[in-house]
Structure 1
Amino acid sequence: MNTIKPFQVINGEELMDMDYKPVRYIVKNLLPQGLTILAGAPKTGKSFLALELCLSVSKGEKLWDFETTKGTVLYLCFEDNTERLQNRIYTMTDDIPSNLYFCWEVSTLGYGLEEKISLFLEEHKDTVLIVIDTFQCIRPQGADYSYGNDYKELQILKNIADKFHISILLVHHLRKQENKDYFHMISGTTGIQGASDNCFVMTEKERGSGKVKLYILGRDIEKRALELERNENNIWIKINDSLDNRKIEKDDITEIIKGYMSKNDLLIGEPIAVAKILSESSNKEISHLTLLKRLKKNANELLDNGYSFKTRRSNGKRIIEIVKIVTVEK
């Protein structure tokens, strides 16, 4: 008897008609939901950076000049003890919010860790960030360090992040060998990069200098490099951002929609019709072929300005619907 189930498939039209919520950023334009690797050599300040991130997010304060999404944070600090962590915090701040939780009880993947994380998330539904310090601490003894196993282990954490719409930051180490591609210095196989949504690599030219570069690469963030310097309170200060001096042409689709919707509460029609209306109202050429992509890319900005959009099918034709949802005072 054949028990093999067929592929679950969708066609191209169904795929293009799917609507998804905009990507949720825990740190705007820097740390989206999903699984992120933070890798660096020992004693470069990875844990101080992780703690600085936890403090900023739990308070809803900016991390450098990046806005954060305030929420509950869990820091699984498996390489520290209570005294060391307390001393570390004292050097940074004396203001610890009650929604920042710490845990030293080491659990491993496949032996209760994922269940304990899920239980915490069920009990603290406003959680936005979990930091695990470090990857090695949660790997089972005698683990197979092959590509397949690296990928499989990280997939467990990624599935949790995706299910609960949170960000999980996994602290890891770099291999000793230098490489022109800093991301290939992450210890382990490329399965670690493959399973992660984002990779942060922390490098220090001179050991103990307190100056590092943080190389950033991800699926929903722009590639960039930050120069950081640690101050007397062991807080990392952003000195430079590789994207600061780059000339960026801002997509003006939000302003175009604001202009049209200032006199209308609804814009609805097929892509070619909507593009024509917006082109005429703004005196700018808007292609119906790229309109939907631009709307999706700027969905967060549209929401911030009081507009939402969705797509649907009517009589076999794709319809775009843009609605004014609130009045946003600027």
Structure 2
Amino acid sequence: MSTTEEAISTITANTLQAKEFPPLRYAVDGYIAEGLTLLAGKPKIGKSWMALDFAMAVATGGLALGSVECRRGPVLYCALEDNHRRLQRRMSQLYGNVEHWPPELHFATQVRRLGNGLIDDLREWIERHRPKLVIIDTFAGVRPQGRREGYEADYSALAPLQELAGDLCVSILVIHHLRKMPSDDPFDMISGSTGVTGSVDNPFVLHRGKQGVTLYGRGREIEEMEQAVEFVGGMWKVLGDAAEVRRSEERNAILEVLEEVDEPMGPKEIANALGKSENNIKQLLFKMHKDGEIKKRGRGRYCAADET
């Protein structure tokens, strides 16, 4: 009696339990893992500078974002909004004092689009060079032309890149844009439908707010993060957890105000001096007094801890 192959292929729980997988590898530890990563931000915020920082750090085995160690390996950077002259100028600005730019950092300024040969081209290049990181800057440069709108179209546009990254165990980073419309959730500002974020393993958003620039990250292979970052001299640096950094900045601002006056101040006076909410200042003053950063003088009046 002949048997027919089942249409749905399965794996039992006990077989799954016995399987062994190699550890997940990162191109940039804690940030860019094997799979498809998306970095979105508004124009001119510095997405390409951050991508170049990642590329150079991996190609040299150096530090990304000023402090994140990277495992050395080949990198393919598809800089689709640049030419060789601009790339040389940007590299010279950042790394002109380096005697030799890394031979393992490869640039391409023109590639075919998704749905028109790009996946085959990338597969061939990856199998030949075995890169740790592939960067596509930007998604608009490889997006299928004449595409439909909506979740399904956005998801299917990026899905082949996600599948390729998984098949070849490589990190692929795609640079993308944000919409102009603000949102309480930074990831809702990513241009396109939710199919864009749904098709990638780890989305990131680089966003400038009233308190500075924050790098937001979440995904399947990374810890959810909100990192305060700073752009100085063409280089991005991580300052630390955004909430901690902003809180520290606000505390320092309060201390500066108290140190500049001879008399203790109340929450309303401090709030007016800083242009902040009185209620928020009250809460922060309470915590600062509890931590010994400031002293209380009378009812609701504060001075710096080193004042007598």
Name the TM-score, length of structure 2 as normaliser.
Answer: 0.73
The whole-number CA distance in structure 2 between the counterparts of 1:70 and 1:153 is: 30
**Aligned match of 1:235:** 235
Task: Say whether 1:75 aligns with 2:77.
Answer: yes
One-letter code of the match for 1:137?
A: G
One-letter code of the match for 2:116?
A: Y
| Superimposed CA distance per residue, residues 231-262 of structure 1 (whole angstroms, 9 cap, x where no aligned partner) | 12x111222234989xxxxxxxxxxxxxxxxx
**Aligned match of 2:122:** 117
**Aligned match of 1:303:** none
CA contact (8 A) 1:203 1:213 kept: yes
Task: Say whether 1:105 aligns with 2:110.
Answer: yes
**Aligned match of 1:151:** 155
**Aligned match of 1:167:** 171
How well do the aligned residues superpose, as a CA RMSD in angstroms?
A: 1.9
Instruction: Report the 3-state secondary structure (helix = DSSP H, G, I; strand = E; otherwise coil) of the residue aligned with 1:75.
Output: strand
The whole-number CA distance in structure 2 between the counterparts of 1:4 and 1:195 is: 30
The whole-number CA distance in structure 2 between the counterparts of 1:122 and 1:4 is: 33
CA contact (8 A) 1:147 1:190 kept: yes
CA contact (8 A) 1:33 1:165 kept: yes
CA contact (8 A) 2:67 2:237 kept: no
Instruction: Report the 3-state secondary structure (helix = DSSP H, G, I; strand = E; otherwise coil) of the residue aligned with 2:11.
Output: coil
Residues 15-24 or 33-42, more deviating:
15-24
One-letter code of the match for 2:111?
A: V
Cα distance, 1:51–1:98 mapped onto 2, change above 3 Å: same
The whole-number CA distance in structure 2 between the counterparts of 1:4 and 1:194 is: 32
Q: 1:197 aligns with which of 192, 196, 201?
A: 201
Instruction: Report the 3-state secondary structure (helix = DSSP H, G, I; strand = E; otherwise coil) of the residue aligned with 1:143.
Output: coil
CA contact (8 A) 1:30 1:66 kept: no
**Aligned match of 2:90:** 88
**Aligned match of 2:132:** 128
One-letter code of the match for 2:45?
A: T
One-letter code of the match for 2:87?
A: L
Q: How does 1:250-289 map to 2 (within 5 A)?
A: none
**Aligned match of 2:292:** none
The whole-number CA distance in structure 2 between the counterparts of 1:68 and 1:218 is: 20
Q: Quote the offset at 1:5 in angstroms.
A: 5.0
Q: Quote the offset at 1:12 in angstroms.
A: 1.6
Q: Quote the offset at 1:81 in angstroms.
A: 1.4
The whole-number CA distance in structure 2 between the counterparts of 1:199 and 1:118 is: 22
- Sequence identity (%): 38
The whole-number CA distance in structure 2 between the counterparts of 1:141 and 1:11 is: 42
CA contact (8 A) 1:36 1:170 kept: yes
Unaligned runs of 5+ in 2: 246-308
Instruction: Report the 3-state secondary structure (helix = DSSP H, G, I; strand = E; otherwise coil) of the residue aligned with 1:132.
Output: strand
The whole-number CA distance in structure 2 between the counterparts of 1:120 and 1:243 is: 41
CA contact (8 A) 2:41 2:177 kept: yes
The whole-number CA distance in structure 1 between the counterparts of 2:18 and 2:32 is: 27
Cα distance, 1:124–1:186 mapped onto 2, change above 3 Å: same
The whole-number CA distance in structure 2 between the counterparts of 1:6 and 1:160 is: 24
Unaligned runs of 5+ in 1: 246-330
One-letter code of the match for 1:57?
A: V
Cα distance, 1:124–1:244 mapped onto 2, change above 3 Å: farther
Instruction: Count residues with an aligned counterpart.
Output: 238
**Aligned match of 1:29:** 30
Q: Quote the offset at 1:20 in angstroms.
A: 1.2
CA contact (8 A) 2:214 2:242 kept: no
Q: Quote the offset at 1:27 in angstroms.
A: 1.3
The whole-number CA distance in structure 1 between the counterparts of 2:157 and 2:149 is: 10
The whole-number CA distance in structure 2 between the counterparts of 1:4 and 1:24 is: 35
Q: Quote the offset at 1:69 in angstroms.
A: 1.5
One-letter code of the match for 1:220?
A: E
Instruction: Report the 3-state secondary structure (helix = DSSP H, G, I; strand = E; otherwise coil) of the residue aligned with 1:117.
Output: helix
The whole-number CA distance in structure 1 between the counterparts of 2:92 and 2:149 is: 37
One-letter code of the match for 2:92?
A: Y
| Superimposed CA distance per residue, residues 73-122 of structure 1 (whole angstroms, 9 cap, x where no aligned partner) | 00000011111121111111123200000001131001111111111112
**Aligned match of 2:297:** none
Runs of 4+ in 1 over 6 A off after TM superposition: none
